[in-house]
Amino acid sequence: MSALEPRDAAADAGAAPPSGPLAPHDESKGSVLDPVHRALSVGIVSVVLLIAFEATAVGTAMPVAARELNGVSVYAFAFSAYFTTSLFAMVLAGQWSDRGGPLAPLTAGISAFAAGLLLSGTAGAMWLFILGRAVQGLGGGLVIVALYVVVGRAYAEHLRPAIMAAFAASWVVPSVVGPLAAGTVTEHLGWRWVFVGIPALVVFPLALALPAIRRTASGPADPTAPVTPWDRRRIRLALGISAGAALLQYAGQELRWLSLLPAAAGAALLVPAVRGLLPHGTYRAARGLPSVVLLRGIAAGAFIAAESFVPLMLVTQRGLSPTLAGFSLALGGLTWALGSWIQARPWTEPYRERLVVLGMVLVALAIAAAPSVLITAVPVWVLAAAWGLGCLGMGSVIASTSVLLMKLSAPEEVGANSAALQISDGLSNVLLLAAGGAAFAALGGGAVGHAVTSAAGTGSHPGAFAAVFLPMAGVAAVGAWVATRLRGGADAGLR
């Protein structure tokens, strides 16, 4: 849920800070729950709570849904479709928020998120299920960038680590209750009710968040400046990055010689789009903002790609029920929140870079330990404990990258820079899920589908799971090196 030398990003960019009702509350004291921020904080944390509950509940129901729709062979698509469409939505949300404020993209995003859940929950075929996940991704991309803009505008710098910690804390209850509730519903009523029931939760976040955002963070960053026109080039690049990621995902899943054609087309679209949308120097881990953006992608991509296969591995290889498979990861919600809380403590600020390095080491070790449960003598609680440590690291890494991004962004650039951070996050998810899905399918992973609802694990392809987890552990280890390059650097601007 997000150690550079402090610097005045607005002054560095030659821009005046926002004024009037959009100015962040800049008193040296106060909290995210003081009278100025209380309604806004409760509202936006409620939005994150909805997203968290969806993620934990849907992840628990996904193996059963894939089996009933005969889609285990394209299991990774159910996750990557979300991230693929969210890439375009992130760029759109960044421009939309910078031009007119975050209120409209947030409203549209929550609506699309709910519509996608309904479409997946009523799907009669796997392709419709995946389409619903894609619609969800459009909504999720709009929401996450809009929320970052709200935080950048409405909270002073010293309060941002605390609101990011609150975002992480909002995952605790869903992490504990979500898998148990979703597993129970899946086993007794059917997996569809997990999807169609969640949209009812949209009403409460909307009622709390939207009025508060309208009062505190609506409108452009500088109401007196001319409205910035839409950057059509960035919109085209956003379409290119989404289309390229989708083609690469398709090529990785098919594993045929003809798949080289969509793979080449995807790369041709993706490479220039990435270079145009991410900070200059990201691909070479230039110090400062480029490394912050790169690290976010490495951490999120490696962790999500690995975690997506954990429930399937526990159900098919160890015979756990969907409820227990999801619940085995519940500890992660608590430790993720703890990691985010630790990075928000004032005493950790001088050691933020070291904290992030340690966090990435914990992530790499947790992912590497996950396939140990393929050995039947290893108890399942070993994975639960390891994943708890990995989530502790992720809590500090994700919150810290969000804080550092805002520290390096001028007020009028928060939307664009937040979009870059989220693009790195989402694109890495798509690419690493594609790679993991390809390895899984190549080693016969699709054949484990018959065991999804078995009372005892009967999967016969444990190597398919090891081929997902071990490379992701290596990617996370690279992230520990990138984390040493977060401090300083003048090469931090967007192209």
Distance (Å, whole) CA 149 – CA 168: 17
Question: What pLDDT, on a 0 to 100 scale, did the predictor assign at position 221?
Answer: 61
Q: Give me the mean pLDDT over the 262-270 stretch.
A: 83
The mean pLDDT of 410-424, rounded to a whole number, is 75
pLDDT band at 161 (very low <50, low <70, confident <90, very high): confident
Arithmetic mean of pLDDT, 82-111: 85
CA distances in angstroms from 257 to 252, 261, 263, 370, 440, listed in the order given: 11, 8, 10, 32, 18
Contacts for 129 with CB less than 8 Å, ≥ 6 apart:
65, 69, 71, 78, 120, 123
| CA-closest candidate to residue 465, choices 315, 252, 246 | 315
Coil/strand/helix, residue 17: coil
DSSP code of 200? G
Please report the pLDDT score of residue 30 as a whole number.
Answer: 67
- The least confident of 12-16, 24-28, 74-78, 83-87 is 12-16
> Global pTM?
0.67
Helix (H, G, I), strand (E, B) or coil at 489: coil
Does 79 have pLDDT greater than 80? no
Give the pLDDT of residue 452. 44
Percentage of the chain beyond pLDDT 70 is 81
Regarding predicted confidence, which is higher, 255 or 426? Answer: 426
The residue that leads in pLDDT, 470 or 4, is 470
- Whether the pLDDT of residue 495 is over 80: the answer is no
Enumerate residues 6+ apart whose C-beta is below 8 A from 238: 87, 88, 90, 91, 92, 273, 277
The DSSP symbol for 155 reads B
Determine the pLDDT at residue 223.
64
